[in-house]
Structure 1
Amino acid sequence: MTAAPIALLTDMVSAAAISTLSAARGLPNTVFFVSSRAALDRLFEPFDADRPWPGRLVAFYSDVVVPQRYLDAMSLEPVNIHPAPPEYPGKRALEFALRDRVDAYGVTAHVMTLPVDSGPILSVQRFPITPGMTEEALRYHTWRAGFALMFGLMPALAADAPLSPDPALAWGTRDCSEAAWQAVRAEQSA
């Protein structure tokens, strides 16, 4: 039996790194790159809930919102690697965390659902923010943590089996959307 394919919704460099390292781990899945909403549309064009796509979609630090009809057209749960801990759901998580002067940050792997950053959480990778850490350094550590989380989950993501969310992990209620961030910026400049 052939292993289910994995489609990586991410940038080209991340897709190449993840694909190369998953092959080095001996995972039998075909891993391919989905670069944009248009590429996602092409991938799911022939599939629907009655005839699902036979693989797993994994979004890695992607801003593309996957439509519900595509989420319904998958035989395996889609996963998102979110570049923030569960306390910071949304696109502008890092900016809010910096504003809050938190002493730790992290990344979250979760089952993809709508609304975004709300699905059952599979795992979280955290790291400390050291005194004087710049925004650039924090972004670097966030990328490193994301790759570490992804590689740790690869055997589960490669399996043709349901995933096991961690019931002890839950999303925070903080709104870290683009609109919320723009409202904060407008308030600061007023």
Structure 2
Amino acid sequence: MNEKKSYDVLFIGDCSFWSEAACEFISSLFSQVTHVFWERGMEKNPIVSTWRGDWIISFKSDLILPEYILNHAGKGAINFHPSSPKYRGLGGYHYAIDNHDASFGATCHHMDEYIDHGQIIQTSEFRLSPTETPEMLRYRTAVHSLTLLYDVCIKIYHDEPLPRSSVCWSDRLFSHQELERYLTRPRKPIEHVKAGEKI
């Protein structure tokens, strides 16, 4: 059995089963893993600011990392965004269903000073079901996000160059406030929310 890779990793995930599984897998690959599980409304763990190491791996997390923290990762900082590049930020599950999108997916990308913005490494797309609900889509996307993490982290373990996807992000960033307004709006006939439109 091969030894763990001598990398110091900061793992940041939400408080879901999926993030626990992702953290367990990362811990099986790398020698030193500091983990932080965070959800909106929780206090931020000060270790995020003081950590220094090789890789930051963010998985399904809404925690925004300023550029100075990203610079603490000597090798790189990557994020697994549980949505297609069409939907930066939050709410992609809802918008994709209401827009009758044919497909959805998970996106792995390098992190920079902007939210869901850095060079895309790899995506994992799948067709939407005709009876899709936001909760079903959340679950299915988590499966693809975790599988994508397995693939990318094995590449990191072997020091393989990470891919550069030709897929680009949309210009629009969907905020938490916009999502709240969208979910509490009067339920008229479905409004199609396009990447360039305002809610």
Which TM-score applies when normalising by structure 2? 0.77
1:125 counterpart SS class: strand
Q: Distance in 1 between matches of 2:79 and 2:5?
A: 24
Partner of 1:44: 49
Greater strand fraction, Structure 1 or Structure 2: 2
For the aligned residues, what is the CA RMSD? 2.7
Q: CA deviation at 1:90?
A: 0.9
Does structure 1 conserve the Cα–Cα contact (< 8 Å) formed by 2:11 and 2:56? yes
2:31 counterpart SS class: coil
Q: Which runs of 5+ in 1 are unaligned?
A: 48-52
Greater helix fraction, Structure 1 or Structure 2: 1
Q: Which runs of 5+ in 2 are unaligned?
A: 189-199
Partner of 1:32: 34
Q: Distance in 1 between matches of 2:49 and 2:176?
A: 27
Partner of 2:147: 148
Aligned partner (choices 22, 25, 28) of residue 21 of structure 1: 25
Partner of 2:14: 11
Query: What number of residue pairs does the alignment pair up?
Result: 180
Residues 139-170 of structure 1, C-alpha deviation per residue, up to 9 Å, x if partnerless? 1101101111111111233356764432x121
Structure 1: which 4+ aligned runs deviate by more than 6 Å?
Answer: none
Does structure 2 conserve the Cα–Cα contact (< 8 Å) formed by 1:15 and 1:33? no
Q: Distance in 1 between matches of 2:173 and 2:67?
A: 21
User: Which one has more relative contact order, counting CA pairs under 8 Å at least 6 apart?
Assistant: 1
Partner of 1:165: 164
Correspondence 1:108-119 to 2 at 5 A: 108-119=107-118
Residue 3 of structure 1 aligns with an amino acid whose one-letter code is S
Q: Say if 1:38 and 1:23 are closer, same or farther in 2 by CA, change over 3 A.
A: closer
Q: Distance in 2 between matches of 1:23 and 1:187?
A: 43
Which TM-score applies when normalising by structure 1? 0.80
- Relative to structure 2, which stretch is displaced further, 109-118 or 176-185? 176-185
Partner of 1:50: none
Residues 19-75 of structure 1, C-alpha deviation per residue, up to 9 Å, x if partnerless? 433466xx3433331124632x32432x6xxxxx22211110001001121012220
The percent identity for this pair of structures is 22
